[in-house]
């Protein structure tokens, strides 16, 4: 069986950690994990996990991509998980009065620009397998059509912009490198630090474990036949309207 290598970016997050554990438990599957965190906080002592640190600036992204290139490995899967909903800089806006420029910029920087910068440098510089499958963690809230309740201006619009960038990239890549497939993925509400303050009104059966979401995502990526080079899917593999 040929060895497969997955690249996971934003590797210390709740969903990313579960994905990494699942992938390295598979036979002949290695992971290159990239995080702001300098140490592997997953505490898995495995030769199959290569932990690289990056602060997501363009200089750091370029040097990380060079490090991966120097490893001489072909990449089969890329999963980008970076995202922020609340931290000491931002919290979801409930109404127009809550909008401010710094907060919007912060959402766009992390949820939209960082994933796109990684894709730019990875796709242009790395050796990817001909049928490389690329998933980026988006959110149903980024669906313009699905927006019935409003609110969360910054998070919502940063994911909508991410989706548009992904779709635009997929159209270009279909011409330049057919075979590479893109997935904009909605994990559902998942029990991680990101959703923790907002879980009170979520029914128990609708709050997923990171492990369940990781299993669903990896299964969807495995089934991807590359016939459609981009899809916006939820955890159940169902299409989400753009
Ligand atoms: N949990 C949910 O209910 C839910 C629902 C819909 C969509 N999502 C999406 O799923 C993805 C993963 O979320 P999660 O639930 O696993 O959340 P999480 O545990 O908070 O992980 C978030 C990830 O984003 C990265 N990140 C956070 N702040 C950052 C910053 N300032 N600069 C750069 N990177 C930063 C971190 O990467 P480092 O390793 O570099 O620290 C971290 O791995 C996100 O894109 C989120 O929007 C989650």
**Rounded distance, CA 212 to CA 216, Å?**
6
CA of 22 to the centre of ligand 1 (A): 18
For residue 83, give the ligand 1 atom closest to its CA. Answer: 45
With respect to residue 38, please indicate whether it lies within any of the assigned structural domains: yes
- Asked if residue 230 lies in contact with residue 183, where contact means CB atoms within 8 angstroms, the answer is yes
- Asked if residue 182 lies in contact with residue 78, where contact means CB atoms within 8 angstroms, the answer is no
With respect to residue 33, please indicate whether it lies within any of the assigned structural domains: yes
With respect to residue 211, please indicate whether it lies within any of the assigned structural domains: yes
- Asked if residue 45 lies in contact with residue 26, where contact means CB atoms within 8 angstroms, the answer is no
With respect to residue 29, please indicate whether it lies within any of the assigned structural domains: yes
For residue 12, give the ligand 1 atom closest to its CA. Answer: 39
Q: Can you give the three-state secondary structure of the chain, one letter per residue? A: CCCEEEEEECCCCHHHHHHHHHHHHCCCEEEEEEECCCCCCCCCCCCCEEEEECCCCHHHHHHHHHHHHHHCCCEEEEEECCCCCCCCCCCCCCCHHHCCHHHHHHHHHHHHHHHHHHHHHHHHHCCEEEEEEEEEECCHHHCCCCCCCCCCHHHHHHHHHHHHHHHHHHHHHHHHCCCCEEEEEECCCECCCCCHHHCCCCCHHHCECHHHHHHHHHHHHHHCCCCCCEEEEECCCCECCC
With respect to residue 239, please indicate whether it lies within any of the assigned structural domains: no
Per-residue pLDDT of the chain (242 residues; tens, 9 = 90+): 788 999 999 999 999 999 999 999 999 999 999 999 987 767 777 889 999 999 999 999 999 999 999 999 999 999 999 999 999 999 999 999 999 999 999 999 999 999 999 999 999 999 899 889 999 999 999 999 999 999 999 999 999 999 999 999 999 999 999 989 999 999 999 999 999 999 999 999 999 999 999 999 999 999 876 667 999 999 999 999 99
Maximum C-alpha span of the chain:
57
Domain that holds residue 67: 4-234
With respect to residue 23, please indicate whether it lies within any of the assigned structural domains: yes
Strands 230-234 and 181-186: parallel
With respect to residue 227, please indicate whether it lies within any of the assigned structural domains: yes
- Asked if residue 37 has its Cβ within 6 Å of ligand 1, the reply is yes
CA of 2 to the centre of ligand 1 (A): 31
From 33, 83, 196, give the residue whose CB has the most ligand 1 atoms within 8 Å, as the site to mutate. Answer: 83
- CATH code (residue 140): 3.40.50.720
- Asked if residue 99 lies in contact with residue 93, where contact means CB atoms within 8 angstroms, the answer is yes
**Rounded distance, CA 110 to CA 101, Å?**
14
CA of 83 to the centre of ligand 1 (A): 4
pLDDT computed for residue 242 by the predictor? 97
With respect to residue 240, please indicate whether it lies within any of the assigned structural domains: no
Look at the chain and report how many structural domains it folds into. 1
CA of 118 to the centre of ligand 1 (A): 15
């Amino acid at each position: 069986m040929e060895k497969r290598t997955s690249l996971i970016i934003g590797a210390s997050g709740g969903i990313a950690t579960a994905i990494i554990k699942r992938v390295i438990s598979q036979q002949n599957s290695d992971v290159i994990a990239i995080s702001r965190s300098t140490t592997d906080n997953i505490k898995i002592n495995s030769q199959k996990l290569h932990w690289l640190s990056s602060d997501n600036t363009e200089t750091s992204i370029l040097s990380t991509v060079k490090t991966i290139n120097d490893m001489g490995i072909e990449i089969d899967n890329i999963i980008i998980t970076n995202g922020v909903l609340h931290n000491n800089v931002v919290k979801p806006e409930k109404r127009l009065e809550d909008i401010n420029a710094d907060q919007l910029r912060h959402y766009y920087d992390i949820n939209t620009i960082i994933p796109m910068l990684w894709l730019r440098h990875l796709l242009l510089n790395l050796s990817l397998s001909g049928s490389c499958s690329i998933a980026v963690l988006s959110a149903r809230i980024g669906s313009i059509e699905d927006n019935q309740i409003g609110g969360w201006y910054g998070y919502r619009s940063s994911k909508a912009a991410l989706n548009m960038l992904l779709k635009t990239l997929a159209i270009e890549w279909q011409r330049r490198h057919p075979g590479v497939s893109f997935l904009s993925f909605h994990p559902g509400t998942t029990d991680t630090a990101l959703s923790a303050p907002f879980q009170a009104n979520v029914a128990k059966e609708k709050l997923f474990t990171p492990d369940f979401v990781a299993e669903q995502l990896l299964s969807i990526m495995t089934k991807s036949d590359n016939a459609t080079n981009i899809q916006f899917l939820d955890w159940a593999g169902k299409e989400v309207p753009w």
